[in-house]
Amino acid sequence: MMTLPEVYCRVNRARGLELLSPEDLLNACQALSRREDSPMELHRFPTGVIVLQLKTASVESMVEATTEFVKQNGSATASQLAADQGITVILAKERLLAAEEQAMLCRDDSTEGLKFYPNRFLIDV
């Protein structure tokens, strides 16, 4: 799973001097998503972040892995999850928000930043 800016940078780095425009990349990714035989698809998170991911990737498995990481550590920030998973902070935050949306995590938004905890309101009932 990669955000479109990451895909844009990697594609243009590989192309060298023949750069691809952002619009052309978006159109190519959309065309790739529409193909039945393509293993890739575009996914838009509720916040508007668009990622290119495998069609076999499921939100449930992503939420489960994220929730397990938070449970093992007691709590987590987006930067902690990003460092552990080797992903960008933006993508880590989207994963945490997706787990929160499914009521697996709850958040503490304080002056220290946004931190997520296991949702004990549902677990300990």
Give me 88's structure tokens: 């960008």
Residues 112 and 68 in one domain: yes
Read off the amino acid at residue 12: N
Count of domains forming the chain: 2
Q: CA nearest 59: which of 72, 43, 48? A: 43
HSE of 72 in the Cβ direction (CA atoms, 13 Å)?
9
Question: What CATH number corresponds to the domain at position 97?
Answer: 1.10.10.10
**Is this model's pTM higher than 0.95 or not?**
no
Grouped pLDDT means (10 residues each) for the chain, 125 residues:
92 91 93 91 90 87 93 95 94 94 92 91 66
The DSSP string of 45-89 is -TTS-EEEEETT--HHHHHHHHHHHHHHHS-B-HHHHHHHHT--H
Domain that holds residue 8: 2-54
